[in-house]
Amino acid sequence: MSKQRRPVWVRNLRVLAVGVFFAGMGFSEIMPFLSLYIATLGHYTHQQLNFYSGVVFAVMYCVSAIVSPYWGKLADKKGRKPMILRASLGMAVVIAAMGLVTNVWQLIALRMAQGVFAGFVSNSNALIATETPKEKSGQALGTMAAGVTGGNLLGPLLGGTLAEIFSYRVTFFITGAILFVIFLGCLFFVHEEGFQPVQGKQFDKASGVIHELTSPRIIFGLLVTTMIIQAANNSINPIISLFIKELMHGGKGVTFVSGVIAALPGVATMFAAPLLGRLGDRIGTQKILIMGFIISILCFVPSAFVKNPWQLGILRFIIGIADASLFPQVQTLLTKNSPSKLTGRIFSWNQSFMYIGNILGPLIGGFVAGLFDYGAVFLSTAFLVLVNMLLFIVNVYFPLKSQTK
């Protein structure tokens, strides 16, 4: 007897989980030396270098937040696989081209183009969400989250190593090659079954999509939840190394310890996301989300009062478990409460809100740290998570509970 063939959605999940792992690695491996690369493109003052670095980092998120809804609309009309191929091939070409720039303005233009071609991860998630049976969606999206988190963790290490062995420019070429291999893998091994293009001009506008939703309040509540999750996570990023330096009283090894502590949340998320996704499928995804909010608050508050880096490291590891309880679970709830034909649009909106959170978070953290101290950033973030939890309970948890009655 021949072995029974695995369902297509299982194969898609395996291919795309590997794809987002390498995509996360490719996107993040250029980050450790991007500012150093900018410094090689001209003679800049310290202030100019900081300014250009900020623009180069932020401009991709700004562009992506604007164009993502358009790509989501196209995904619902043409399919998620074409959008995956568009994003992976476009990013491969754009990132490889960054190794050829001769001035910072060319680099800024290519980062804007990178924002235009963004959407590989969100469209991969959308395809998995629509192809996977609803009762397995939490586990599947948790596996996807683990893949991209693992890639993001290893990317900076790989990028720093490649830049050290070769050069900044060669590392861009290698990154482009990795993304091109992802494009080929998705082209030949990912299959989108049963896709039904969205029909009707009413869906060209957001109002038509909203009218089609069973509960727009739940969907927009989840979008706001995504934005605040990202803002809370990213509010810590600008000050974490400086806080560790303060805890170590300027001693040796600050860079190494900062790198280890920065990686701990991702390590925890990578292992916890599939398990919590599976648990959410059994007991209710919204319950996992509330658990994540509570864990986050219970970790952010004591983080403000730690006395050494290892106490902070333990709390940051637990924060990673909370992260696994949050963003992947939001995507699962979006999947379970959206028409499958509009998943691309809804996930693109979610990506836009995520990028807005990515922009707001560092601004909030830097502002609070400037007014008070580093500990205040953790306390303000705990308050932000509390607000997020209350909004989620009012806009999502109670409406979902009333639907099940």
Helices and strands: H and E segment counts in the chain: 18, 0
Give the total number of structural domains in the chain: 2
**142-165: per-residue pLDDT in tens?**
999 889 988 888 888 788 888 888
Same domain? For 162 and 304 the reply is no
Residues 353 and 252 in one domain: yes
In a domain, 206, yes or no: no
Find out whether 147 and 21 touch, Cβ atoms under 8 Å.
Answer: yes
pLDDT of residue 100: 96
For the stretch 210-263, pLDDT in tens is 888 888 899 999 999 999 999 998 888 767 877 888 888 877 777 678 778 877
| Whether 18 and 148 share a structural domain | yes
Q: Is 270 contained in some domain?
A: yes
Coil vs helix vs strand at 334: helix
Of the pLDDT bands very low, low, confident and very high (cuts 50, 70, 90), residue 322 is very high
- Binning pLDDT at 50, 70 and 90, where does residue 2 land? very low
* pLDDT at res. 179: 93
Residue type, position 78, single letter: K
**Residue 4 is assigned to a structural domain of this protein:** yes
DSSP characters over 342-379: GHHHHHHHHHHHHHHHHHHHHHHHHHHHHHS-HHHHHH
What pLDDT was estimated at residue 201?
A: 67
Share of the chain above pLDDT 90, in %: 44
Find the radius of gyration of the CA atoms of the chain.
21
On the question of pLDDT at 21 being above 50, the answer is yes
The average pLDDT across 15-34 equals 86
Please say if the pLDDT value at position 12 is more than 60.
Answer: yes
Give the model's confidence band at 5: pLDDT under 50 very low, under 70 low, under 90 confident, else very high: low
Residue 335 lies in a domain: yes
- The CATH number of the domain where 258 resides is what? 1.20.1250.20
CA-CA distances (angstroms) from residue 107 to 64, 96, 319? 16, 11, 34
Which amino acid, one-letter code, is at 337? Answer: N
Residues with Cβ within 8 Å of residue 5, at least 6 apart in sequence? none
Q: What is the mean pLDDT of residues 300-308?
A: 94
pLDDT of the residue at 338: 87
Residue 313 shares a structural domain with residue 165: no
Co-location of 241 and 292 in the same domain = yes
> What is the reported pTM?
0.83
Would you say residue 246 lies in a domain?
Answer: yes
Tokens matching residue 91:
């990013």
Same-domain status, 221 and 350: yes
Q: Cα–chain-centroid distance for residue 153? A: 12
User: Does residue 240 share a domain with residue 125?
Assistant: no
Q: Look at residue 145 and tell me if it is in a domain.
A: yes
pLDDT value of position 1: 39
Domain of residue 372, residue span: 211-405
pLDDT at 404 (0 to 100)? 65
- Rounded-to-integer distance, Cα 21 and Cα 133, Å: 23
Region 24-40 average pLDDT: 83
